[in-house]
Amino acid sequence: MSYRKLFAPIILVIFLLSLVPTSLSAPSQGQLKIIGSAWILAPAVAQTSTGMIGSATNISVFVTEGWGDVYVSTYSLTQEDFQGAATAAARVVTRLLGLNFSNYNYYFKVQGDAVIIGGPSAGVAMSIAVYSALTGKPINRSVTVTGMISPDGTVGPVGGVYEKAQAVAQAGAKIFLVPPGQSIVTQYQTVVKRIGPFRYYTTQPVVINLTDYAHKNWGLRVVEVTTLTDALYYFFGVKIPASYTTAPYLSSDAIKIIDKVRSQLTQIAQRELNEAYTKVNASRLTSVGKSTLNSYLDRYAKSYLSRASTRDVSSISLLTSSIAISRWIKLLVDYYSNVQLDQQVQAISDQITATIDELSNKAPRNVLELNILTLSIDKTVQALKLYNESANMWNTDPSTALQNIAFSSALIDEAKAWSNGLQAGVLPDSSQVAATYISVARSTWPYIYSVLSEAGGDLTLIDSSQIYYTLATSLYSSKKPLFAAIAAARSIALAEAAMLYFQAQASGKDPYTEVSRKNAMAVASTYPDMIASIYYLNQSSGAELQDRLAYLKLSSQLGELVQDLLKTINLKETVQQPKQGESTTPSQPSQTPSAPSNPQPSKNIGDWIQDILLKISLAFENLVNWIRKILGL
C-alpha cells in the first residue's frame, strides 16, 4: 500500500463552495477565500472473515473563510461521532493557534478501505491536517498517528493499535504515535492441542511491548504522546514553548473578601448544626433514628465545620457542605414526622429566583469583582440545577430530593455571601459570549456522550454536562446571558472531565491530571484575583480522580470565561501582579493554590457504611410511621 495510491486530489470543495450562501459572511465577490488544504493517512482497522486487519484511511481537509461550519464527506460509512471528532479537531487547533474557530469553515473528505470508519480514533490525525491547512506547514509523511482528540487537546485511547501499527509500517511509515499506555498491547494467539486424532483450538492472551516488537519486526518506532502539542513536534518539528506561569495571586482586598465570606458562612453553619441537633433530639423519631442522624451530623456537618478553620478559599466549600447537611437532616426529621414541607420548599425556590434577579443587576468595576460575580452566579446555577432535579425525583426518591433541596439552599447562601459587596448597576451585554459558549457546549457534550456510551464509560459527569447545557439554553432564552454562559462553561468542563476520566481508566495511566492542573494554573495566573478559577483549583486538591478532573476543568473554563468577558467589558485590574522574582509586600500577600490543610475527604468504607445505616434507619422510620397510622397514633 503506498501513499500515492491512496491520495486523491481534492476538488470536492469547489462544489461545496458553490452551495454556500453568500449572505452570511462571504466576501463581496460572493466567494469564500480558501485558507489552505492538507491530507493525512490515518490508520484504521477493518473486520474480515479471519479477524481484524489494519488499513489506512485518507483524510483531507479544506479550510475557507466562513462562520464555524464543519462538513464531512465520505466514501465509507462513518460512525455518528465522526462529525463531533472533526469539530473537536478544528476547535482544538484554532485555539492552539490563537484563531477564532467561527471565522472559518472546515471541509473534510474521508476515503479508505474500511467499510465503516469511526471518528474518535482519527481525531488527532484530523487535528494534524487542520494545523497544516491553517499554517501551510507540510506534514512529515514518515509519521502517522492514532488517538482520540479531547476538547482540551489531550490524546485518548483507541482500539486495534497492533493492527494499525502493522498497516502503517507496510505503508512505509517510520514513526507511529499512540495514546498514553498503548505501546503495550494484548494480542490473542491460537494454540492447537492434539489429543489422539482430535485437535483442540484455544486462544491465549499475549502481552506485547509494541515499542520493541515494532522496531525489531517492522522497523517502526512507536512513541506515546499525551497532547496534540507532543504530536506536532513529530509531524512538523514544532515545539510549542511552555508559557511562563506565575503563581496565582490574590490581593489583600481579595483575601479580605474571602475572610468575610468564610466568617459569614461559619456563623450560618454553626447555627444550622445546633438547630439540627436540637431538632433531632426533640423529634418523635425512634432512638435508632435519632442516633443515626446525630452520628451523621457528627461525621459530616460537624467535621466539615471544624476542618474549615483555615483562611484558604477551599474552606468555603466545606462550610457550604456543612450547612447543607445540617439542613438536610432537619428536612428529614420534618419529612418523617409528617410535617408539610410545601412552605419550606417554596421559600427556597423564591430565594433562587430573588438571587438570580439580584445578581442580574450587579455591575463589577474591576477584575476582582467580575470574578466574585462569576463565582456567585456559578453557585446560583448549581442551586437551580439541584432544585430542578429534586422536583423530578420527589416521587421516587424523596430522601435524595430533600438532600438536593438542602444543598440548593446552602449554595444560595454562599452565592449571597460572595456578592454582598457588589454594587448595583447594569452589566454590559454578554449575549455574544454566551452564544459562543453554548455553541461549544452543543458540539462538545454529544460527541463525548457518543464516545463514552459506545465504549461503556462512566456517564455520571456527561449526564450532568447535558443538564447544564439544557439549563444554559433555557437561561439564554430567558434573557440571562451571563447565567447562560456560566451554565454552558460548566457543561463544557464536565464533558471534558468525563472524557479525561474515561481515558485515564481505559489506558491505565493518568497524565491528564497534571496537564489539566498546568492549564488551570496558567488560567488562574492570567490576572491577579482570579478567584473563580482559584476556587476550583484549590478544591481539586485531595479529591478523587473523577472529581479532581472536574474541578480542574471548572477552574480552567470559568477562568477562560472571565478572560473572554474582559474582552467585551472594559475593567481595570485590582492590583498589578508582581513580576517574576519580585517580592510581595505584607499589604498585598500572595496566596498560591496548594493542597488545603483540611481538604474535604474522599469517600471511604466508613462513609459507605454510614450511608447504608442512614438508609436503613430511614426505612425503619417509614415502617414505624406506617404502624402509627394504622394504630391511629
- Residue 194 belongs to some domain of the structure: yes
Domain end marker among 214, 236, 258: 236
Higher pLDDT, 406 or 506: 406
Q: Rounded CA gap, 466 and 216, in Å?
A: 47
- Please name which of 1, 134, 10 lies closest in space to residue 75, comparing C-alpha atoms: 10
Structural contact between residues 167 and 56, judged by C-beta atoms closer than 8 angstroms: yes
- Give the pLDDT of residue 619: 62
Average pLDDT of the chain?
A: 84
Look at residue 466 in the predicted model and tell me its pLDDT.
97
Whether residues 30 and 177 share a domain: the answer is: yes
Mark which of 575, 591, 608 sits at the end of a domain.
575
CA distance linking residue 413 with residue 180, whole number of Å = 43
Tell me the one-letter amino acid at 505.
Answer: Q
Residue with cell 447594569: 426
Residue 555 lies in a domain: yes
* pLDDT tens digits, one per residue of 348-357: 999 999 999 9
Q: Is residue 112 part of a domain?
A: yes
* Pairing outcome for strands 175-178 and 221-224: parallel
pLDDT at 565 over 50: yes
Asked whether residue 607 is domain-assigned, the answer is no
Q: Does residue 496 have a pLDDT over 90? A: yes
- Report the predicted TM-score, pTM, of the whole model to 2 decimal places: 0.80
Is the predicted pLDDT of residue 2 greater than 70, yes or no? no
Least confident segment among 16-30, 78-92, 379-393, 524-538: 16-30
What are residue 598's phi and psi, to 5 degrees? -135, 70
Domain of residue 522, residue span: 363-378+423-575
In this structure, the answer to whether residues 44 and 193 fall within a common structural domain is: yes
**8 Å CB contact between 313 and 299:** no
Q: Answer yes or no: is 511 within a domain.
A: yes
Question: Between residues 23 and 578, which one has the greater pLDDT?
Answer: 578
**C-alpha triplet 416, 421, 424: angle, nearest 5°:** 90
Whether 587 maps to a domain, the answer reads: no
Contact 108, 73 (CB under 8 A): yes
What are the CA-CA distances from residue 592 to residues 77, 249, 319, 354, 558 (Å)?
51, 7, 21, 34, 18
- For residue 318, tell me if it sits in a domain: no
Q: Over the stretch 198-240, which tens digit does the pLDDT of each residue have?
A: 777 777 777 889 999 999 999 999 999 999 999 999 999 998 8
| Distance of alpha carbon 292 from alpha carbon 611, whole angstroms | 10
- Torsions phi, psi of 199, nearest 5? -120, 130
Counting the structural domains of the chain, the total is: 2
User: Domain boundary at 220, 236, 252, which?
Assistant: 236
Q: What is the pLDDT of residue 76?
A: 58
Q: Are residues 370 and 506 in the same domain?
A: yes
The answer to the question of residue 599 being in a domain is no
User: In terms of domains, do 84 and 230 share one?
Assistant: yes
pLDDT at 591 over 60: no
- The pLDDT, as a whole number, for residue 249 is 93
Phi then psi for residue 201, to 5 deg, are -105, 125
Please list, in sequence order, all residues whose beta carbon lies within 8 angstroms of the beta carbon of residue 611, skipping any fewer than 6 positions away.
Answer: none
Q: pLDDT tens digit string along 530-557? A: 999 999 999 998 899 999 999 999 999 9
CATH of the domain at 214: 3.30.230.10
Total residues found in the chain within this entry: 633
Same structural domain, 86 and 228 = yes
Q: Would you say 413 and 351 are in contact if contact means Cβ atoms under 8 Å apart? A: no
What pLDDT is attached to residue 582?
A: 42
Q: Is 247 exposed, middle or buried (0-12, 13-18, 19+ CB in 10 A)?
A: middle
60: left (phi over 0), alpha (psi -120 to 50) or beta: beta
* Cβ proximity of 215 and 222 under 8 Å: yes
Q: Does the pLDDT value for residue 583 go beyond 50?
A: no
Mean pLDDT, rounded, for 345-367: 95
pLDDT at 318: 94
